[in-house]
Amino acid sequence: MTIDVHKIGMAALAEAAPPQGGTKPNWLHRFKARLHKKPQAKGETKPTSPPKGETNPTGWCYFHFTIGPVQGFVAQARRTRDFWAGSFILSWLSAVAMRAVIAQQGTIVFPKPDAHYLNWLAGKGNGKLPPRQGSVPNRFKAKVKAGFNTENAEQVVASVQKAWYELAELVWQQDLAGHVDEVQRETWARQINHFWEISWVLTDDESESDLLDRRKNWRNQFAPVEPGFKCIMVADRQELSGILTPKENELKGTFWEHKVRKSLKTKTGNSNARDLAENEQLCAIAFVKRLFA
């Protein structure tokens, strides 16, 4: 199966249109005050936001973005294609975030983005074949106009999430839909919807380079509890059969052999060993990595 991830990215960016207008980002100053490294001395006046109506004198702000987990997504693999898929998907989602910032009149400051990769997401790719290697890092810094606020930042996040959901849904529809029941669908939705850890910060101080790391230290994103037998690739996720107890373990083999592998074999017209080997029971995350390309 081949899925055009670049078209998915374009659709996600088109449907997640940036908001018009927006409030002035006075809250940036309050955010900086909360993260200020220096503890407040006794009797010291608390930092306050600028007076109502005051704007950032430079006219620019800086947007820092990161998506992960990196090791938890790329390194958990059983085949070379799994390593490649993890690296490519992570790079692709970061590129979607970059394009979402650029669509809102932002400029990627660091690192210098791969123009060829980003052009394909904008429908302006050169050459017959799209990029096949992930060349965009999972975090970046962008220069944005002072009016860029929480709504704009969340629009970037929404574009990334939509691209991921669309990719996962295509894999589901092409390889699992019609062969599984509601139990597997619920497991799939839980895992797909609660995987990525996305963090961002805004500042009007170009020299503040550690805000994103400090934001990540808050650790306010937690994966849901995963019951039952675990995925052979992603050890902390439940495999898709939905089996919960050891006495049902034999049913797990029946599910993967007579439903999933049979479905894959029917679609490919030949042996499905290249996609899913015997005794490979995967969670939704691993299944997307294995089957999206």
Q: What is the CATH number of the domain that holds 90?
A: 3.30.70.2220
In-domain check, residue 44: yes
Mean pLDDT of 40-63: 55
Task: Judge whether 247 lies within some domain.
Answer: no
Q: Helix, strand, coil % (nearest 5) of the chain?
A: 45, 10, 45
Contacts of 159 (CB under 8 A, 6+ apart): 12, 13, 16, 96, 97, 99, 100
Is 95 inside a domain boundary?
yes
The predicted-structure confidence for 194-233, as pLDDT tens digits, reads as follows 999 999 999 988 888 888 888 877 777 777 889 988 999 9
Task: Give the pLDDT band (50/70/90) at residue 105.
Answer: very high
| pLDDT value of position 202 | 92
More confident residue, 48 or 92: 92
Q: Which residue, 149, 171, 155, is CA-closest to 1?
A: 171
pLDDT(32) > 80: no
Q: What average pLDDT does range 129-139 have in this prediction?
A: 84
Kindly report the pTM of this predicted structure.
0.78
> Considering the domain boundaries, does residue 284 fall inside one?
no
Q: Is residue 276 part of a domain?
A: no
Domain residues for the domain of 187 are 5-223
Question: Number of folded domains in the chain?
Answer: 1
- Would the pLDDT of 78 be above 80? yes
